[in-house]
Amino acid sequence: MEIILKPIGIIISPFNEKEQTPIQSSRSQAIGRIEVAPEFSDGLQDIEGFSHIILLYVFHCAAKDTLQVRPFLDAQLHGVFSTRYPNRPNPIGLSVVRLLARWENTLEIAGIDVLDGTPLLDIKPYIPEFDVYEASRIGWYASRRQA
């Protein structure tokens, strides 16, 4: 099966090098923009009613995919699917960012953690009732939080 996805726009970011990007959007205060392609701008109707949005995008500068990695937050080897490492079989990323403003097909956002020019696949509203789980296990990351 072949899956073909068409980007709906691009993410404008202050980061031009992988080494500059924050580890996660929750650790970033950087301001960026989303430029949604004109043919998708009707899909932005009512988006400004949300304080946060979820971005799905392609890690377009990711290196070759691998199944075991040493993530940024740990020196141990882990399966790529138990990490958020960008080098993966399908280099799809996810960030939750704060929506600051909308001008036609442009969104201003805070908490950007991707490279400038990142292809955007989708935008979804962040809804705590659906997106937050209080009783969560966090696997290998739990030992990092105690360190």
Q: What CATH code is carried by the domain that includes residue 14?
A: 2.40.30.70
* Domain-embedded: residue 1: no
* Domain-embedded: residue 133: yes
Higher pLDDT, 107 or 140: 107
* Domain-embedded: residue 3: no
In this prediction, residues 76-85 reach a mean pLDDT of 87
* Domain-embedded: residue 25: yes
Distance from C-alpha of 59 to C-alpha of 120, rounded to nearest angstrom: 10
Question: Taking Cα atoms as reference points, which of 13, 36, 26, 15 lies closest to residue 97?
Answer: 26
Question: Taking Cα atoms as reference points, which of 138, 109, 90, 121 lies closest to residue 50?
Answer: 109
Task: Give the range of the structural domain holding residue 102, as residue numbers without chain letter.
Answer: 9-146
Residue 48 has pLDDT above 80, yes or no: yes
Higher pLDDT, 45 or 142: 45
* Domain-embedded: residue 97: yes
Distance from C-alpha of 93 to C-alpha of 118, rounded to nearest angstrom: 10
Q: Report pTM.
A: 0.86
Query: Which residues does 139 contact at the CB level (< 8 Å), separation at least 6?
Result: 82
- When pLDDT is cut at 50, 70 and 90, the band that residue 82 belongs to is confident
Domain count for the chain: 1
pLDDT number for residue 21: 63
* Domain-embedded: residue 60: yes
* Domain-embedded: residue 51: yes
Distance from C-alpha of 65 to C-alpha of 83, rounded to nearest angstrom: 13
Q: Token pair 């993966």 is at which residue?
A: 88
